[in-house]
Structure 1
Amino acid sequence: MGSGPNGLVAAIELARAGRRVLLLEAAERFGGGLRSAELTLPGRVHDLGATVMAMALASPAMRGLGLEGRGPGQVEFVHPGVAAAHPLDDRPAVLVHRDAGRTREGLGADGAVWDATAGAAARAGFPLVDLLVKPLGPWRPDPRAFAAAARFGVAAALPATTFARRALRTVEGRAVFAGMAAHSVLDLRSPITTGYGLLLASLAHLVGWPLVKGGSQVLADALVARLRELGGEAVTGHRVRRLDELTGLGAETIVLDVTPRRFLEMAELPARYRRRLERYRYGPGVFKLDWALDGPVPWRDPAVAAAGTVHLGGTLEEIALSEAEVAAGRHSPRPYVLLTQPYAADPTRGGHTLWAYCHVPNGSPVDMTGAIEAQIERYAPGFRDRVLARHAMGPADLEAWNPNLVGGDIGGGLAGLRQFVNRPVWSPAPWRTPLPGVFLCSASTPPGGAVHGMGGWQAARLATRG
């Protein structure tokens, strides 16, 4: 039940194991966080959720599916000229290239540290990624991968602010790392935020930060097509409110791409397990804007135009303050803004489309349009003059579109140290529930959010082993 990346991967893996599979999706289109739609003007394709697909290329669950060239839209991953850019007020933007050497050169005095951390993780390759996205296994014996993971973990456990101030010397190096680490949607003074930043930075060098040509919906449709090739059935517009509706269909195995809150509403659960799910914590939400523009963003530094992803927020100190404010339940007047300009890699989306979001307290009703656009104008004067139409989605809108985004939390739950593996409960196999034959596979299970399908892969693996 549920056709986000995890639900789709689970369905495919069960079908590959010879199971007869029925995939049910409440919405009118498949995809969950992989949906695309014309949000602003006719012909302008916007991604409602995920756009940048680094984890889709890196994940062991997705790598084995052979998706490129598949599906109604033919999946093609396209790469911008620059993976990510970080503009600054009084100096050139910092650029993160697919080529680690070019990135190192651009970072000057901090280039060696970048190469020894993010660069080293990228050189360790897929064996290291496989270990990191399978925190509870199973793992194939690979001493080199375990050694790389141990080296990675020494830095990864640190708060991002601690790592940046101890290891990096320049304003540019600290700022670009803060932009990476802030993807975690955590206070950057929290443990393991360095790990999120280093993993994302290393993926820029290992696989790039690509987009799906034509929109993320193309990837969702290709996954559904793959399921159907394997004999599975997929149905939209079928909302399941209670678990017994599925058991009534005679299902022997049920895999749910839902958050703990939705599972609690659906099923009668043992009291101890129910109490543990009730303690599950959701993180900050996001306020998202989509724009149709009459031309490219007029960046003060022209190099930013080539970037698929842009981190806005200034220095380490500014970004850390913004994220600390949100973690404390307040709205930052100068928020960290994560912006994606798909036209830098994909000219097929009907023109210059753009989206951005900032972090807000969970469930916030505050309109952040002005604050987000002010941050863009800060680095791209005249931006507002390019806007033809805009579309806003606050936390309530996001949850209405996708019930898994509780309070606008796009990560499926707070991603701090306690819930890194205690997700949604501590267990050697947290995808398995106390109900026989019932499994969870959403981003509320390890390894958490992003388009990697690993929650679905783990749930299906357990289901096929009995």
Structure 2
Amino acid sequence: MTARADVVILGSGPNGLAAAVILARAGLSVTVLEGQHTPGGGMRTLPLVSDTVTDAEGLLRDVCAAVPAAAPTSPFFEEFDLAARGIELITPEVSYAQPLDGGRAGIAFHDLDRTVERLGTDGRRWSRLLGPLAAYSREVATIALSDKRTPPHGDPLRLARAGLALATSTALMGGAWGDGYWHTEEARSLIGGVSAHTISALPSLAAAGTASYLGALAHSPAGWPLARGGIGVISSVLVEDLLAHGGQLVVDHPVRTPSDLPPARVHLLNTHARVAAELLAEPYRSRLRDLPLGGGVCKLDYVLSGPVPWREPLVQRAGTVHVGGTLEEMRTAEAQVAAGRHADRPMLLVSDPAQHDDTRLGRSGLRPIWAYAHVPTGSTRDVRAAADRQLERFAPGFRDLVVDCVVTPASRMAEHNAAYPGGDIAGGMVSMWRMVARPGPRIDPYAVAPGVYLCSQSAPPGPGVHGMVGLHAARRVLRKEFGISKMPSLGSVSPK
């Protein structure tokens, strides 16, 4: 770094890279700083090695996020056009599944009609609730990924219909009284599993809104896809575009104090609000500290000698599996985590990417299994034993296939991504209020100090691989700091 940049961005996660691409394409000099050895933040794919698995096996693990469900309908990624850049998004036959005892399972097929048919007596109810959301999935995404300050862009009638469907579904599922809508445990557990992505006590309006949004995407044209080769390939093409338009990326540059930040006209902080706070003076520091931490995760990178032997074979076809049992079991587990206790039967999110992408198989046929276990924030506990029991419960013989497992407790997640203090992967508490008022109740949630903007999950629209916080922040930086009102085009692959 020699010349002073117009913009310095801290953190190369999806939002930081989205902002960097936009600002570089607008003609500004942009430098991105990344504390890790490789760029991508929560969107990285790296070798999976352990005491018994060497680099020669060629296994890859998705370090943080694994299934970019929000990417295909994100306005940023739609215009950026991943397919034109050689990224193949694989749509599993089953978007997500929920195994239950006795060999039963809730199956959310990518195809809405197949889901309705399998749910039997609850099929019509599923169609009434999720059908309108799926029909207007693009508009649902536009609403969900907005800055919560300005009207979303699009066809007013379609947006109105999407908004009504989203509000109806959220209101129905946001309270325990909505349980009576379903007659089968399969349907109830499917909704509960996708609601649990919030890592918060259930039910809640925020969890219901999350379930409605992700449920819409599950039955949308792209479903919940996986990126062939691992989610890190998306970071790679973002970095390529940044460099092609004159931007600069500096890795191995951790920023812990204000003196670690090089001077620039504007700084964008793509990190947790609590981490960003340490780089600011009062009163700005206290304002960012006010955002409560969200729930934590313990990351488990299993190495298996074969596919997970789910008792219900259809579960193998899912890109994402929610392992938590019945709705009541999941509510109990999430309530314990919210109260700061470890659940005996923790909620797990599991993905077996090699089931859909043969490039993820190792040279000898070993396969990586990605899993998040919900735990209290800051937990130092290795919860593998509890996770093993949950997996063996629904996939008998699972333990026999385990070659090794690399465990990252919640307390150590920040070593892999500074934006995850205490294992909080959502950028702060997920509640209906905090989805709007994050990091705080301000008209402009991105401008956090003079010349400093927040562009992480700690600002609206919140968590997910969508790049939209970066887009919203970049739009304001262009207009307020550089007097540029027109956003640059993202569609062309080659530099302008």
Q: Please report the TM-score for the alignment, with normalisation by the length of structure 1.
A: 0.94
- Output the amino acid matched with 1:320: R
TM-superposed deviation, 1:427: 1.6
TM-superposed deviation, 1:125: 2.8
TM-superposed deviation, 1:139: 2.2
1:85 to 75, 88, 97: 97
2:406 to 368, 384, 391: 391
Q: Does 1:205 align with 2:205?
A: no
Identity of aligned residues (%): 40
Q: Does 1:329 align with 2:340?
A: yes
1:191 to 205, 212, 215: 205
2:170 maps to 156
Alignment partners' CA distance in 1, 2:182 and 2:429: 27
Q: In the alignment, is the contact (CA less than 8 A) between 2:92 and 2:110 conserved in 1?
A: no
Alignment partners' CA distance in 1, 2:213 and 2:341: 28
Q: In the alignment, is the contact (CA less than 8 A) between 2:115 and 2:123 conserved in 1?
A: yes
1:52 to 61, 67, 82: 67
Q: In the alignment, is the contact (CA less than 8 A) between 1:128 and 1:146 conserved in 2?
A: no
1:66 maps to 81
Question: Secondary structure of the residue that 2:70 maps to in structure 1?
Answer: helix
Q: Mark the CA change 1:357 to 1:240 in structure 2 (over 3 Å): closer, same or farther.
A: closer
Alignment partners' CA distance in 2, 1:358 and 1:161: 24
Q: Mark the CA change 1:160 to 1:319 in structure 2 (over 3 Å): closer, same or farther.
A: farther
TM-superposed deviation, 1:39: 2.4
Q: Does 1:463 align with 2:477?
A: yes
Q: Which runs of 5+ in 2 are unaligned?
A: 1-9, 481-496
Alignment partners' CA distance in 2, 1:406 and 1:151: 35
2:115 maps to 103
Alignment partners' CA distance in 2, 1:187 and 1:57: 29
Q: Does 1:411 align with 2:422?
A: no
2:12 maps to 3
Q: How does 1:273-288 map to 2 (within 5 A)?
A: 273-288=284-299
Alignment partners' CA distance in 1, 2:212 and 2:143: 15
Q: Please report the TM-score for the alignment, with normalisation by the length of structure 2.
A: 0.89
Alignment partners' CA distance in 1, 2:314 and 2:84: 31
TM-superposed deviation, 1:138: 4.4
Over the residues paired in the alignment, what is the CA RMSD in angstroms? 1.6
2:126 maps to 114
Q: How does 1:295-374 map to 2 (within 5 A)?
A: 295-349=306-360, 350=362, 351-374=366-389
Q: In the alignment, is the contact (CA less than 8 A) between 2:14 and 2:467 conserved in 1?
A: yes
Q: Which moved more, 1:133-142 or 1:381-390?
A: 133-142
Alignment partners' CA distance in 2, 1:101 and 1:431: 41
2:47 maps to 38
Q: Which moved more, 1:14-23 or 1:160-169?
A: 160-169
- Output the amino acid matched with 1:183: H
Alignment partners' CA distance in 2, 1:99 and 1:311: 19
TM-superposed deviation, 1:158: 5.4
Q: Which runs of 5+ in 1 are unaligned?
A: none
TM-superposed deviation, 1:418: 2.5
Q: In the alignment, is the contact (CA less than 8 A) between 2:198 and 2:206 conserved in 1?
A: no
Q: In the alignment, is the contact (CA less than 8 A) between 2:140 and 2:216 conserved in 1?
A: no
TM-superposed deviation, 1:163: 5.9
- Output the amino acid matched with 1:23: V
Q: Mark the CA change 1:163 to 1:54 in structure 2 (over 3 Å): closer, same or farther.
A: farther
1:26 maps to 35
Q: List per-residue Cα deviations over 1:220-266 (Å, max 9, x = no partner).
A: 111100111222121211223334554x53x2221110222222211
- Output the amino acid matched with 1:233: Q
TM-superposed deviation, 1:159: 5.4
Alignment partners' CA distance in 1, 2:239 and 2:306: 34
TM-superposed deviation, 1:168: 1.2
Report runs of 4+ in structure 1 exceeding 6 Å deviation.
none
Q: List per-residue Cα deviations over 1:69-120 (Å, max 9, x = no partner).
A: 52xxx42111222211111112532211111111111111111221122221
Alignment partners' CA distance in 2, 1:299 and 1:261: 40
- Output the amino acid matched with 1:327: A
TM-superposed deviation, 1:15: 1.4
Q: Which moved more, 1:452-461 or 1:112-121?
A: 112-121
Alignment partners' CA distance in 2, 1:100 and 1:164: 21
Q: Does 1:173 align with 2:187?
A: yes
1:453 maps to 467
- Output the amino acid matched with 2:295: P
